């Protein structure tokens, strides 16, 4: 999907320092961080949201990538968030996990 910013980052069309990458997933720092460390974990293949049917194994690999990206960023404790739909705060229509850390988190979050 040519106009999707996350597709462009994942393909390398937009140069972004990566915290983690493998054949299917990339992770990079959010440009509008909501915590001292705020990473985005994104599948290279365009998937609009968690509601889109797809590869269940990839969903598991996204969580594994979130763990590895957090470790690469020096986090031992962190929160993983997936926003699905505009009302939930999803602003980019490409599935992505937020990895937030570097400070104490409150509950409930929203």
Provide the annotated active-site residues: 96
Query: How far apart, in whole angstroms, are the C-alpha atoms of residue 70 and residue 80?
Result: 10
Q: Are 21 and 12 in contact (CB under 8 A)?
A: no
- How far apart, in Å, are the Cα atoms of 75 and each of 37, 43, 50? 8, 21, 25
């Amino acid at each position: 999907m040519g106009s999707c910013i996350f597709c462009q980052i994942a393909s390398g069309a937009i140069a972004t320092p990566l915290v983690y990458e493998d054949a299917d997933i990339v992770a990079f720092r959010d440009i509008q961080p909501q915590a001292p460390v705020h990473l985005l974990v994104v599948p290279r293949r365009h998937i609009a949201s968690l509601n889109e049917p797809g590869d269940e194994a990839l969903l598991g690999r996204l969580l594994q990538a979130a763990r590895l990206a957090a470790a690469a960023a020096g986090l031992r404790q962190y929160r993983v968030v997936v926003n699905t739909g505009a009302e939930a705060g999803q602003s980019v229509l490409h599935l992505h996990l937020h990895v937030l850390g570097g400070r104490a988190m409150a509950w409930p979050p929203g």
